[in-house]
Structure 1
Amino acid sequence: MKYIKLLFIAFFTIVLASCQDNGIENESIFDTSSPKRTEFDTWILNNFTLPYNIDFQYHYNDKLSDNEYNVVPARLDNSKAMAILLKHVWLDSYREAVGEDFVKANTFRVVQLIGSPEYSGQGSIVLGTAEGGIMVTLFRLNELDIHNIHIEQDDPFRSRGALPLDLNHWYFHTMHHEFCHILTQKKQYTTDFQAISAGKYHSTDWINVSDEESGQEGFVTGYASDQYNEDFAETYSTYITLSDEGWNALLKKAGDEGAAIILKKLDIIRTYMQDSWGIDIDKLRTVVNRRCKEVKTLDLTKLN
């Protein structure tokens, strides 16, 4: 019994001594120092992260990328230019037309930039990808000529491979398209839209449907003929990013029958956006078109 008491006293003494040694407890195992930020990092913090809770990833992050593809990081100067462009033409357009609270509640949480293209299994270049309404990835940043910016609003059939890159096609259209998916995932639109082109979708061979020919079947682009969710987002984003001249050229190419189908779809989209989200797409379109024209006045090499 004496041995047990002695062992207990010794154990209690050791425990008490350990509890009184606060040297280790006062030091966190986590790095609590402020991160070192560049001028660009601080600009991103003030323009994307703090106001909208957006993590703007311009460094290559393999955890956010599809490792089945060989891609390269985006150049720093092009990343800065794209950040300025996305804020002015896309983010601030919704803020101006719909309000800051709407943007905060519904926007992507991660925007990632990749320097090179990514090719699909069908041989097409991927414009952008979106993961569950959380992250959007934009590609081909290293081919952007920041001193020769082109935004095509008037010709919907301009060659996609033409240089300089058409920012509307490669980036702004993509952002509106993917953002539309976020909204329709949160609030479903009427099944009447699905019925308009039922039986006409090219789910397995849409890549063979050219934009010039798709209108005759009632699709604004070849990709819109994939399936009804893509049709909805493509019709919305195409209308938003084209000028009156460009939209009318698209309808003219579609012919009377094709144009009637496209306009019927647009009417459903217009009603859905107004009733479900309070978005007047014609007001938004005016803002987007104006801001696209203002890009010529921006210095994409300076962070304001």
Structure 2
Amino acid sequence: MSIFVDETTKVIYQGLTGSQGRFYGLRNRDYGTQVVAGTNPKKAGTDVEGIPIYASVAEAKEATGATASCVFIPAPGVKGAVMEAAEAGLELVVVITEGVPAQDEAWFFNKVRRDHPGTRILGPNCPGVISPGKANIGITAGEIAKEGGPVGIVSRSGTLTYQALYELKLADIGVTTCVGIGGDPVPGTSFIDCLEAFEADPETKAVMMIGEIGGSAEEEAAEFIKAEMSKPVAAYVAGVTAPPGKKMGHAGAIVSGGKGTAAAKIEALEDAGVRVGQNPTEAGAHMVDIVASL
């Protein structure tokens, strides 16, 4: 099985008529994802290489039966795009856009959780989600992922997500689903959300988790792993040498007030029984060992 998306998932691209939305929407379709519609109120009635464009998400959903959307709207319009998708009743909204204002993220995260509990937001500022061989929503290159299992991946870092997928592929290890939750301060989907889903998925036998400095998400995940996870976990935490007070890449990757350091996160994960690599390749080697022992 897979979590969140599979071969039956029908996806609307909000921003399909833009250059990036078109590029990745067509790549996702070529991968085998059911990209069934795009939205643009100014271009309704047209199409992008056979994919129909509708004026709104609600119209696109009614016409196609889609359950998910992928957002390639520029940052100032993301709040409206997310709410449009949630109000249309979509189950999953994958927000690729980076640079979304933190106050917007916090606002629509809480608004959707309160008023549209059936909608899951992934991102913003994330590579998306791929269930190899079934569906790819976002910007991850499908070629670097081996389908099957038994490993599930959840990551805050896009680039390290790709490295984890490819290193496992080189070791001939398949992945059930790889979820990039994004590195912004208010991610719509957390490590714990994904760990819980992987724990419940019978085909996922082990989990690889990639964290980074900033916030407390990794420590909270460690508590969940210790209390709730029966499946082995390997991890890597980026930013061991990051100086306090300096943002490192992602908006949420900052050590502040002595909190959010890589050392504290590694200690919490190791205390929960997680095998933590000192670099991404070592984390991959840990997962190879775990899979060999399953």
| TM-score normalised by the chain length of structure 2 | 0.29
Of structures 1 and 2, the larger Rg is shown by 1
Bigger strand fraction? 2
- Higher RCO (Cα < 8 Å, 6 or more apart): 1
Q: Of Structure 1 and Structure 2, which has the larger fraction of its residues in helix? A: 1
The TM-score normalised by the length of structure 1 is: 0.29
